[in-house]
Amino acid sequence: MRRKGDLPTKVCAACGLDFAWRKKWARDWDAVKYCSERCRRNKGGA
């Protein structure tokens, strides 16, 4: 098992914040661009 600090991270394309890997994104981590559904809906926001 990995520690939270060892998980890969990305920067959200909408809000610019760092977010960490989640198990639900395991199959398509390369395609994930947004940290949340809210950011995905408001792509140009913040």
pLDDT at 24: 93
pLDDT at 38: 95
Domain segments of the chain: what residues? 4-41
Q: Give the predicted TM-score (pTM) of the model.
A: 0.76
pLDDT at 4: 77
- Each residue's pLDDT tens digit, 1-46: 678 778 999 999 999 999 999 999 999 999 999 999 999 999 865 5
Please compute Rg for the chain using Cα positions.
Answer: 11
* Largest Cα–Cα separation, the chain: 36
pLDDT at 44: 66
